Amino acid sequence: MKLFGLPVSLKECIGVKGMDSTIGYSSLINKPALEDSVIVKVLKSCGAVPFVKTNLVQGMLNFESSNPIFGKTGNPKNVNYTPGGSSSGAGSLVGSGGSVLGFGTDIAGSIRNPAHLCGVCGLKPTMQRLSKIGLQGSLPGQSCLSSCVGPLAQDVDTLVLAMQALSCPLMSQLDKNIPPLPFNDELFQSKLKLRIGYYTNDGYAEPVPAVQRAVLMTKEILEKAGHTLVPFKVPRIEDAMRILSSALFADGGKTCMENLKNDLVDPVNRYLYWRLSCPAFLRPIVKYVVGWGSPRIAKDLMVYGGGDRSVYRLWKIQAETEKYKKEFFTQWQDLDLSAVICPPFPIAAAPIGSVEHTTALTSYCALFNLLNCPCGVIPVTKVSQADTDKLKDHKGNYGDKWDNHNKKVNENSTDMPVGVQFVGLPWMDEICLRLMKEVETQILLQKHES
């Protein structure tokens, strides 16, 4: 019982017998789960003590944290700043010391984003390392972007402990989709020097200076440890963003709109709601007008809502997904990489309510849901005054409204946490955790010496 007596927090969507999982929708109030979800059953079998459910954003498709039932959640470093989302309560509670170990879910960065913004550690495992049976989802049936359950903690050792405990026979006995794959301690403990790719800008959303600096800091730490770091370029990033947005809303936004039709729309979801509800006949007109200022935003608008919802279109999206994955992993293989480091998010924490849900915010996380890569985030640094000063020259890759948004929201983010994302090949979760631990150890040593 590796987790004996350990208090564990659970994202509100994770099923616990006798408790609601509303995901911020009033229509799901007073509909308690009839039994524990598989992840809760396994946690209890490991000796863990689930003690609280944590807040999330309405519908779990936003990087803010608010819903009409439970209200807002603040960042543990500054309660007036967003903790990110959608596993916002998990990031905030762990970051404030209220929970040693929390569990969230991640479909486009919902674990890694709050880990980055709250200054904690988080892991999005390979899909089907941990069971999702018994969870309330926002887009049931959607399978192109892999949704995962994963842990958040104050240090990497606790993430490792959680994955060691949960990679047990009971998980695959209760959920036949989960392979009986034990945690690979040999891979995690390996001292073999690795070849690692890195990038600070994916070409879609240029991160603010603090986020780029964090990646370069991590690159330097890994090089000093004897690893080889080589530049990596994300292939066809605009196509990747079109594919993943198309996959996420292949139903034309119908599922989201059905959930919201008799409910209050939380203010943080207004922009998403507008994109999904805009009538099909109006979209070409809006696209034409918006296109004068940003072709990128105009193209994105046509992906959300309305239009063709046929099985034929869905199959085309799935075929494009497989083609893109082959291209991406061929490039990875050609460079002989074991892992990649990159930003987890283009911005640092910003004031609550200031972060619009734009596609430009999703590229660094959602890409790896599309690819089903395991990814982890650890805190590396904080936004410095020098980082903030550099914002005045920050233009972004397109110089459009989305780039200006990312610049503006971080104008007062000095001293907020900044994380780095570690990415491995599918089923190589232990390599991510190994590198996260190595970098974490060196950062702690540097702090001690200073």
Q: What is the pLDDT of residues 390-440, one digit of tens each?
A: 999 999 999 999 999 999 999 999 999 999 999 999 999 999 999 999 999
Catalytic residue check, 110: yes
Catalytic residue check, 26: no
Which residues pair with residue 54 across a beta bridge? 11
Handedness of CA 332, 333, 334, 336 (dihedral sign): positive
Q: Are strands 148-153 and 228-231 parallel, antiparallel or unpaired?
A: unpaired
| pLDDT tens, residue by residue, 251-279 | 888 888 888 888 999 999 988 888 888 88
Which residues pair with residue 121 across a beta bridge? 153
Task: Give pairs for 279-287: CB < 8 Å, separation 24+.
Answer: 279/306, 280/305, 280/306, 280/307, 283/307
User: Distance between CA 151 and CA 33 in Å, rounded?
Assistant: 22
Q: Are 130 and 172 in contact (CB under 8 A)?
A: no
Active-site residue (options: 65, 110, 167, 338)? 110
In the chain the domains, ranked by start, together with CATH numbers, are 7-238+317-449 (3.90.1300.10), 239-316 (no CATH)
User: Distance between CA 165 and CA 181 in Å, rounded?
Assistant: 12
Q: Are 165 and 151 in contact (CB under 8 A)?
A: no
pLDDT score at 51: 98
Which regions in the chain score pLDDT beneath 70?
1, 305-307
pLDDT score at 276: 85
Catalytic residue check, 146: no
Handedness of CA 88, 94, 96, 99 (dihedral sign): positive
pLDDT score at 61: 92
Active-site residue (options: 21, 65, 86, 413)? 86
User: Distance between CA 396 and CA 267 in Å, rounded?
Assistant: 27
Active-site residue (options: 11, 77, 219, 437)? 11
**pTM of structure:** 0.97
Main-chain phi, psi angles of 117, to 5 degrees: -75, -25
